[in-house]
Amino acid sequence: MVSGGTWTPYRVWTLYLPTGLLAGPAAALRNIRARPEREVWLICEGGALIDLDQRRLLWYGAEPVHPEWLTAAKHVLACAWPGWHVRWACDGVRELGDHIGLTGHDLVTAHAFTDHFADDRPRAPDDPDDPVECLVTVGRAGGAVTAHAVDWPAQDSLLARGPELLDELPAALPMGRLPVPVPLTALHIDPAARQVTAWGYEVPRGADARWPGWRLEFRGDRFAEQNAVCGAPIVAPLSLDWAYQTLRRCLVDAVEEVPTGYCARMRAYYGDLRVPGWDYRPEEVTAALTAVDAAARSTADATGPGR
Higher pLDDT, 246 or 30: 30
For residue 146, the tally of other CB atoms under 10 A from its CB is 17
Residue 238 lies in a domain: no
Beta strands in 61-214 (DSSP E): 85-88, 134-139, 145-150, 185-190, 195-199
Q: 83 in the Ramachandran plot: left (φ > 0), alpha (ψ -120 to 50) or beta?
A: left
Distance CA 153, CA 145 (A): 22
Residue 237 lies in a domain: no
Residues 64 and 152 in one domain: no
Residues 38 and 137 in one domain: no
Evaluate if residue 157 carries a pLDDT over 70: yes
Residues 128 and 226 in one domain: yes
Degrees, nearest 5: CA angle 43-44-46: 150
Residues 279 and 257 in one domain: yes
Residue 235 lies in a domain: no
Specify the 3-state DSSP secondary structure of 119: coil
Q: What is the mean pLDDT of residues 135-159?
A: 92
Distance CA 165, CA 114 (A): 16
Residue 190 lies in a domain: yes
Q: What is the pLDDT of residues 219-254, one digit of tens each?
A: 998 998 999 999 999 999 988 998 898 888 777 765
Residues 7 and 92 in one domain: yes
Residue 260 lies in a domain: yes
Residues 125 and 104 in one domain: no
Per-residue confidence (pLDDT) for residue 185, from 0 to 100: 93
Residue type present at position 138: V
Question: Which of 201, 230, 259 is the endpoint of a domain?
Answer: 230
If one counts the domains in the chain, the total is 2
Residues 19 and 77 in one domain: yes
Evaluate if residue 218 carries a pLDDT over 60: yes
Q: What is the pLDDT of residues 91-112, one digit of tens each?
A: 888 889 999 998 765 666 555 5
Among candidate residues 202, 94, 208, the one with its CA nearest the CA of residue 160: 208
Among candidate residues 203, 141, 272, 255, the one with its CA nearest the CA of residue 263: 272
Chain centroid to CA 117: 21
Give me the phi and psi of 86, to 5 degrees please. Answer: -110, 130
CB 64 within 8 A of CB 23: no
Range of the domain at 199: 121-230
Residues 30 and 69 in one domain: yes
**Residue 218's beta-bridge partner residues?**
198
Residues 98 and 130 in one domain: no
Residues 45 and 100 in one domain: yes
What is the pTM (predicted TM-score) of this model? 0.80
Residue 14 lies in a domain: yes
Residue 244 lies in a domain: no
Residue 266 lies in a domain: yes
